[in-house]
Structure 1
Amino acid sequence: MTDTPQNKTIQAELQAAQERSMLFARPGFLIRRLHQIHSGLFTEETKAFNITPVQYSLLTALAEHGEMDQNTLAMEIGLERTTVAEVLPRLESREFIERNQSAQDRRVKLVKLSRKGKAMVRRMEEAAQRAHDRTIEHLPAAERQLFMLQLIRLVEANNHKSVAPLRLR
């Protein structure tokens, strides 16, 4: 990092933060902590719907891509297949999704949003967006897009190392 005035300010702010807590020198800790914070904000904003962040991710993936098999759905959101298999029955019991066996392969379960599921996704959009906005609202507006881009770069660069890789296009 070159010694520009902006970089010196960043270095000083980073050093001061790391003096407050040694944990602030650990990207993994900060990522996990931010995830906890976001989950709390999501729950706060969406409590009326009684939908978890994982359930919302599944519903929105189905809304975007349409019917798909459970394995593909897992890859669409970077979740382990077993977790998807545990969450889908809850969504099905609330009539947000429909699951059927594939006509081509009886071992494959196809999943699609029901009308009720589509309506739920639409009703939740604003609340979920508020949670996303609140997660990064303390960054200066000019830095929010850069922060998002940096997160995307890290996810894409390390995606192949995940136990449940995200399908990248």
Structure 2
Amino acid sequence: MTFKPAELEHFPGYYIRRLQQIAVAVFADETQAWGVTPVQFAALSAIMRQPGVDQRTLARLIGFDASTIGSVLDRLEARGLVTRSGSPKDRRVRLLHVTEEGVSLLKNAEPAVLKAQQRILEPLTPERRAQFMDLITFLIKENDELARAPSSGFPKEA
């Protein structure tokens, strides 16, 4: 008997991975002038919204692996975009703040980031864009605990 594998074209994970590749490529195309990755932008944005957040909480906020968020922050700190300071409550905890340079990058790059998001959804009608966002948000919320890096940004609804 000859084994015939299932066709990838029937796997939602295959399409999700492909869409993620497209999203990263479009993001890079639109934001190349600022030299920032999607994860770096997410980290800067989250720190800006919650100044003084610690690294572990930041990782949960953006759904990123806590063991590797430090290397993302190392690159942001080396560029002068964030600072890390000790916590007065726990010496092991590092608190994060966006520098003026980081604020400037966020402010200047945001229109390009928003354009990237629009480009990704451009083939869809406005109604289908809303439907897509509802469905993808639902799937992430319902399956978040299965992620290697669950996000605290998507609590399940009661």
Normalised by the length of structure 1, the TM-score is 0.85
> Structure 2: how far apart are the matches of 1:142 and 1:92?
41
Is this contact kept in 2: 1:57–1:77, CA < 8 A? yes
SS in 1 for 2:67: helix
1:28-54 C-alpha deviation (Å, 9 max, x unpaired): 000000000010000000000000111
Aligned to 2:100: 115
- Structure 2, unaligned runs of 5 or more: 1-6
Deviation at 1:139, TM superposition (A): 1.1
1:137 is matched with which residue? 122
Aligned to 1:12: none
What residue identity is the alignment partner of 2:128?
E
1:36 paired residue among 16, 21, 26: 21
The structure that is helix-richer by fraction is: 1
CA contact (8 A) 1:70 1:111 kept: yes
Provide Cα deviations, 1:87-141, integer angstroms capped at 9, x if missing partner. Answer: 1011001110010111110011111111111111111110001111111111122
- Normalised by the size of structure 2, how large is the TM-score? 0.91
CA distance in 2, matches of 1:98, 1:146: 39
Structure 2 CA distance for aligned equivalents of residues 92 and 69 of structure 1 = 14
- Count of residues in Structure 1 that have an aligned counterpart in Structure 2: 148
1:52 aligns with 37
What residue in structure 1 maps to residue 3 of structure 2?
none
Q: 2:55 aligns with which of 70, 73, 94?
A: 70
Residue 70 of structure 2 corresponds to residue 91 of structure 1: no
User: Which residue identity does 2:56 align to in structure 1?
Assistant: N
Letter in 1 for 2:132: F
Q: Which residue of 1 aligns with 2:67?
A: 82
Shift of residue 23 of structure 1? Answer: 2.6
Percent identity of equivalent pairs: 36
CA distance in 1, matches of 2:128, 2:9: 19
Deviation at 1:80, TM superposition (A): 0.6
Deviation at 1:65, TM superposition (A): 1.8
User: Considering only CA atoms, is the larger Rg found in Structure 1 or Structure 2?
Assistant: 1
Letter of the structure 2 residue corresponding to residue 138 of structure 1:
P
* DSSP-derived class of the 2:68 partner: helix
The corresponding residue for 1:4 is none
Runs of 4+ in 1 over 4 A off after TM superposition: none
Does the 8 A contact of 1:67 with 1:113 survive in 2? no
CA distance in 2, matches of 1:62, 1:124: 16
Unaligned runs of 5+ in 1: 1-21
